[in-house]
Amino acid sequence: MFAMRRESAPFLRTFRPHRSFAGAPCWARFCSSSGSNVLVTETGIGQANVARALDWLLAKPKFDGVEYRPRSIVFAGFAGALRENLHIGDVVSAGEVIDARGESTRTTWLPATSARLLTMDRMIASPEEKRRLGAQYGADIVDMESAVFAARCAQAGIPFGCVRAISDEMATPLSPKLVSLLSGGRVSPWRLVTALARRPSMVRELLRLGRDTRRAAEQLGQSLIQSLGFSPGRD
């Protein structure tokens, strides 16, 4: 599971989509590479979108007349660093996921690191707030989706993991205007042009963010492919 295409694109270059899953509430395709097959979904940003996708997936939807139930689920995507030693493109497998209320869930899939993943309902933009949240929750990274995912999977008894690539470092600020622009995930070209016309200084910030998310996505894709036991170029 990914939240958006920018996160999944490098992975999908190797695991090619070949068949859609009818009735899914989001983009859902069976993808394969050299005999390995996975179902990939793109839920949309935020816990509400993830919950909707999981409600469908865990209800045993039928594919070709047969109930489909995943053997394990991995939620993968970007995260912000809450520690100074985490850098752009670093890939972290969370051992624990915690929400803003302090409720935590241990992951069960992939070799879990000691990393703690915090889920918030908004983008965390300032280095000061990142530092504060890291100290308050004892967390290493932050995202906007994983808490509801972890809780639902644990309740359903399905092995699961959360794999995140760092797309912004703790010391890197995001301007309030950029946070507002990106909060919904997809940005229409017209809205982007209008925002840049009003604030040309944001161009440099967007270019940096584009570079950093590309690196994060590439590293994430490689890590996921290796974790599935597949090496590009191997028969």
Going along the chain from its start, the domains and CATH numbers come out as 5-227 (3.40.50.1580)
User: Do the Cβ atoms of 227 and 15 come closer than 8 Å?
Assistant: no
pLDDT digits (tens, 9 = 90+) for 44-83: 999 999 999 999 999 999 999 999 999 999 999 999 999 9
Q: What does the mean pLDDT of the chain come to? A: 89
Rounded average pLDDT over 31-43: 91
From residue 95, alpha-carbon distances to 46, 88, 122, 147, 229 in Å are 21, 20, 22, 12, 20
Question: How does strand 160-168 pair with strand 73-81?
Answer: parallel
Closest by CA to 88, choosing from 214, 203, 179, is 214
Q: Give Dmax (Cα) for the chain.
A: 54
Q: DSSP characters for 65-104?
A: TEE---S-EEEEEEEEESSTT--TT-EEE-SEEEETTS-E
What distance in Å separates the CA atoms of residue 162 and residue 97, rounded to the nearest whole number?
A: 8
Angle between helix 146-156 and helix 47-57 axes, rounded to 10 deg = 20
Element (H, E) at 49: helix 47-57
Indicate the pTM of the whole model.
0.88
pLDDT digits (tens, 9 = 90+) for 178-227: 666 666 555 556 566 666 667 777 778 788 888 999 999 999 999 999 88
H-assigned helices in 100-227: 127-137, 146-156, 176-182, 189-198, 202-227
